[in-house]
């Protein structure tokens, strides 16, 4: 997965990572110290400094921040302070490639039957045009699933993300019945997680490893957000359908393009699914106008992608 990401995504991710690294540990000294034994490649990348200036740095000086240590269940339940994550899905760009699904399934080591992202073939009225509609968890601000959970196994965090604690879930499946978006899946049998992941402790933020007899669903990849990276579906989509970002910063990006969230949703008439139910989703859709691709019914939804 990590190897076939495009260079522009690499740029962004590394940039974010470096910025995050600097902001977090104020380790400017060690950077300069290390810089002495690094040979410049001559390839410059533009970065935004902490002072808000655009600076050019040689690629060789960029160092991926090592994986942050695992956070505790308590911190996972609280969420990332000051954030309010939001997703925008541009329906005019989707041609049901399915790369989002594959990346997601792979990243979370899902059971072959499962897809956390589903791409529905939609047609609102008989005379209206069909289109592809990818659905993730809506991370509702008034989440029906969280309301019905008897044991606080599914919970809403301060950054807006709804997660599942598979170490606590009792498998009653009330949340599945409550979710109007049918986003939740259940590990009916052994989730077939490969080793060594299967014996790792469960993390609510990575949602891995999936456990038998518990519920799973799209988690907005908060582990990636902590690293300053985009969710797997966003970076995997070749057509830039998914935009992810922070409502408080009012920006969303698909890796290549970054928009002001409020302007994007305003100018392109963004909407949310089943607004009338009052669930207040965190996922916005841009209507399928001025399509990049025609709707090809022959690419009828395949059977679930086996990763």
List residues near other proteins by CB under 8 A.
Answer: 101, 113-115, 118-122, 135, 144, 147-153, 168-174, 176-178, 180-182, 184-190, 212-215, 273-274, 277, 301, 303-305
- Indicate the burial class of 214 (C-beta count within 10 angstroms; 0-12, 13-18, 19 or more): buried
Question: What's the closest the beta carbon of residue 159 comes to other proteins, in angstroms?
Answer: 21
Residue with tokens 């049998």: 189
With contact defined as beta carbons under 8 Å apart, do 114 and 102 qualify?
no
Compare residues 240 and 304 and give the one whose CB is closer to other proteins: 304
At CA 156, angle to CA 151 and CA 157, rounded to 5? 125
- The separation between CA 186 and the C-alpha centre of its own chain, rounded to angstroms, equals 20
Burial class (CB in 10 A: 0-12, 13-18, 19+), 260: middle
Strand pairing report for 154-156 and 251-253: unpaired
**Shortest distance, position 70 Cβ to other proteins, whole Å:** 22
CB-wise, 15 or 304, nearer to other proteins?
Answer: 304
Write down the least CB distance from residue 281 to other proteins, Å: 13
Q: Give the SS3 label for residue 112.
A: coil
Rounded distance, CA 177 to CA 184, Å? Answer: 9
CB closer to other proteins out of 12 and 179? 179
Q: Which is nearer to other proteins, 166 or 251 (CB)?
A: 166
CA 28 – CA 236 distance, rounded (Å)? 32
11 or 174, CB closer to other proteins? 174
Per DSSP, the three-state class of 159 is coil
Q: Least Å distance between CB 215 and other proteins? A: 8
**Minimum distance of other proteins from residue 157's CB (angstroms):** 16
Q: Least distance from C-beta 277 to other proteins, angstroms?
A: 5
| CB of residue 13 to other proteins, shortest distance in Å | 27
Query: Which of 221, 40, 222, 5 shows the shortest CA–CA distance to 14?
Result: 5
Q: Which residues of 162-177 are buried (b: 16+ CB within 10 A; e: fewer)?
A: bbbbbebbeeeebbbe
The nearer residue to other proteins, 121 or 247, going by C-beta atoms, is 121
Nearer to other proteins, 38 or 274 (CB): 274
């Amino acid at each position: 997965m990590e190897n076939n990401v495009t260079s522009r995504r690499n740029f962004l991710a590394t940039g974010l990572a470096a910025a995050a690294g600097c902001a977090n540990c104020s380790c400017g000294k060690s950077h300069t110290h290390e810089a002495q034994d690094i040979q410049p490649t001559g390839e410059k990348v533009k970065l935004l400094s902490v002072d808000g200036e655009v600076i050019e740095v040689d690629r060789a000086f960029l160092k991926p921040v090592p994986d942050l240590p695992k956070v505790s269940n308590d911190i996972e339940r609280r969420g990332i302070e000051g954030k309010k994550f939001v997703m925008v899905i541009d329906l005019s760009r989707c041609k049901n490639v399915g790369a989002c699904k594959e990346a997601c399934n792979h990243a979370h080591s899902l059971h072959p039957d499962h897809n956390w992202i589903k791409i529905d073939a939609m047609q609102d009225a008989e005379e209206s045009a069909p289109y592809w509609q990818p659905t993730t968890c809506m991370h509702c601000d008034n989440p029906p699933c969280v309301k019905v959970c008897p044991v606080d196994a599914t919970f809403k965090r301060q950054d807006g993300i709804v997660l599942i604690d598979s170490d606590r879930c009792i498998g009653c499946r009330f949340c599945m019945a409550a979710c109007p978006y049918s986003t939740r899946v259940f590990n009916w049998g052994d989730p077939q997680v490969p080793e060594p992941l299967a014996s790792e402790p469960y993390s609510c933020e990575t949602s891995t490893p999936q456990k038998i007899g518990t519920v799973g669903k799209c988690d907005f990849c908060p582990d990636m957000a902590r690293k300053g990276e985009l969710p797997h579906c966003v970076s995997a989509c070749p057509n830039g359908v998914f935009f992810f970002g922070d409502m408080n910063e009012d920006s969303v990006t698909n890796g290549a393009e970054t928009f002001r969230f409020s302007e994007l949703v305003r100018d392109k008439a963004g909407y949310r699914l089943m607004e009338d139910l009052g669930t207040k989703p965190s996922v916005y859709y841009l209507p399928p106008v001025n399509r990049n691709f025609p709707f090809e019914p022959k690419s009828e939804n395949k059977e679930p992608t086996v990763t």
